[in-house]
Structure 1
Amino acid sequence: MPGAASLGMRAARTGALFALFIGILIAPAKAADDHHAIWHRLLQAHVKPVSDGNSTAVDYAGMRASRDQLDRYLSALAQVSKADFERWSEPAQLAFLINAYNAHTVALILTAYPDLDSIRELGGWFSSPWEQAIAPLLGKTRTLDDIEHEMIREHYHEPRIHFAVNCASIGCPALRREAYTGDALEQQLSDQTRQFLRDRSRNRIEGNTLRVSKIFNWYGDDFTTGWRGIDSLSAFLARYRDALGLTDAQTQALRSGELDIGFLPYDWALNDTR
């Protein structure tokens, strides 16, 4: 029968092996999140809360003055290999892609700022700003559409990304004042969704109609795919009744189809601090 000392040594070895195993699991996610430190500092410095804190505006002049830092960040993203990316957890991958989309959008605005009033002015005769190959990422030069539709929407089936990716317009959800990370992604997406739905310039009750952002019209199918058991836009909106300010009666009417859903015009003006 083993003695107490022998049992203690075995317990110590088991504990060490367990700690090593956990470290191996955690290390890739931490390495993924470490890429975003520069972007986090830029957001903290140059993104300002507006609309009672439910949205933000970007100090693009400040971003332009820090362009060397932004370029360093985009270069670091470009150095990430597809093999490394695929070793990360899904939350770390998704955080990486959301940050990449938002940072490349800011960089695109800076190519013409301050001489533009909307991102749509950056499109050419044959392509929109979202169809320009501007983002070296995971071995290819991508467009913003590639990142959003092929890399994010096609693979992750997470409807709340529509409140995280930012198209540099007032109608967009807020550009978050911190980088997304794998460790915090669930809380960040939940917070972004509620923040957006609380903004009455984008989502509000008018009589017997719940008028919501045009985003819910453009990407309506993303809210019907069974995310967390939700298979309809009305069920998704009812889940966030508190953020929308719905009464019990309005929530019941929404769930039963008795409350109409309408879509508000989208404001494409630049989300800057001027």
Structure 2
Amino acid sequence: MDAAGVGTDVGDDSPTALARGLLLACKRGEPTERYLAALAALDDDDLRRVRTDRATALAFWLNCYNAGTQLLLDEQPERYESPLRFVRFFGRPALTVAGARLSLDRIENGVLRGGRSKYGLGYLPKLLVTSFERRYRLPACDPRIHFALNCGAESCPAIRAYDPASVDDQLDLSTRTYLDATVTYDADRDVVRVPRVCLWFRGDFGGGTGIRRLLRTHGVVPEDATPSLRYRAWDWSKAPGKFVD
């Protein structure tokens, strides 16, 4: 496949290299048109590994989502600042993959979360599922994506360029870094304050039990702790360019 003769930092024109190249171009303030054209020109055969390999899918779609956010913030910031942000920004097509115009909502909820609704705290299926989403959605939601997806808000986690070969280690790092920065534990009261995404997508984490397990796994609370959960307020202030190496 050589959809647009695009070279990337990883030296090939695979879908994952194109998505990573697009994200890095956003980071560096470089032209993105060639990457966008190449992603749009992909076909189902090009996307075979994205469709069949979990690590490839995670890296590809995380990079697409985060690049799409930066593109929208740069080109149409008024959509984010609108009181109707949840429709005008998250529902707006951000980029095209294999001919399908994809919004941030479609990438996150239709694909990465395996076809779950953005409403219902992570317990409800997505009602309107496109054929593209059915074909490319992950079979199960990895809750660590919520510490990797950046929607443009100040409270969002930092942006990394994900790679299939190391995506699990990278997601562990992103999770640990974000939890360390946002979680506070009051041992005397046995109360822990966690990011708001843990409430919005509570079902993705396996409910309160799953959230506590995650906190113990990453050393945020003691191994024998079963604290009460409180959810931090979310700062929606626009914050583009939150990249880390």
Q: Normalising by the residue count of structure 2, what TM-score does the alignment of the two structures yield?
A: 0.72
Match of 1:169, SS state, is coil
Question: Would you identify which runs of 4 or more consecutive aligned residues in structure 1 move more than 4 Å?
Answer: 122-126
Aligned position for 2:238? 270
8 Å CA contact retained: 2:20, 2:60:
no
Is 1:120–2:80 an aligned residue pair? Answer: yes
Whole-Å Cα distance in 2 between the matches of residues 112 and 30 of structure 1? 28
Is 1:185–2:167 an aligned residue pair? Answer: yes
8 Å CA contact retained: 2:49, 2:56:
no
Q: Deviations over 1:72-113 (max 9, x none)?
A: 222222222223212342211221111111111100001145
Q: 1:30/1:163 Cα in 2 relative to 1: closer, same or farther (>3 Å)?
A: farther
Is 1:75–2:37 an aligned residue pair? Answer: yes
Where does structure 2 lack aligned partners over 5 or more consecutive residues? Answer: 1-11, 115-136
Aligned position for 1:26? none
Q: 1:111/1:122 Cα in 2 relative to 1: closer, same or farther (>3 Å)?
A: farther
Is 1:194–2:176 an aligned residue pair? Answer: yes
Which structure 2 residues correspond to residues 92-103 of structure 1 after superposition, within 5 A? Answer: 92-103=56-67
8 Å CA contact retained: 2:65, 2:108:
yes
Whole-Å Cα distance in 1 between the matches of residues 198 and 228 of structure 2? 14
Which structure 2 residues correspond to residues 118-267 of structure 1 after superposition, within 5 A? Answer: 120-122=80-82, 124=84, 127-154=87-114, 155-156=137-138, 157-176=141-160, 179-199=161-181, 202-206=182-186, 207-224=189-206, 232-240=210-218, 242=219, 244=220, 246-247=221-222, 251-254=223-226, 259-267=227-235
Aligned position for 2:9? none
Whole-Å Cα distance in 1 between the matches of residues 177 and 85 of structure 2? 36
Match of 2:14 among 6, 16, 31: 31
CA RMSD of superposed structures (Å): 2.9
Aligned position for 1:86? 48
Q: Normalising by the residue count of structure 1, what TM-score does the alignment of the two structures yield?
A: 0.65
Is 1:104–2:68 an aligned residue pair? Answer: yes
Match of 2:87, SS state, is coil
Match of 1:171, SS state, is coil
Where does structure 1 lack aligned partners over 5 or more consecutive residues? Answer: 1-28, 47-61
Amino acid at match of 1:238: R
Rg larger for: 1
Shift, 1:220, TM fit = 0.6
Q: 1:216/1:136 Cα in 2 relative to 1: closer, same or farther (>3 Å)?
A: same
Match of 1:195, SS state, is helix
Whole-Å Cα distance in 2 between the matches of residues 261 and 166 of structure 1? 23
Q: 1:172/1:252 Cα in 2 relative to 1: closer, same or farther (>3 Å)?
A: same
Shift, 1:129, TM fit = 0.8
Whole-Å Cα distance in 2 between the matches of residues 95 and 267 of structure 1? 26
Q: Deviations over 1:221-274 (max 9, x none)?
A: 01118xxxx96222222211x2x2x34xxx4232xxxx2110000011122479
State percent identity of aligned pairs: 26
8 Å CA contact retained: 2:59, 2:164:
yes
Which structure has more relative contact order (CA 8 Å, sep 6+)? It is 1
Match of 1:232, SS state, is helix
When the two structures are aligned, how many residues end up with a matched partner? 203
Aligned position for 1:20? none
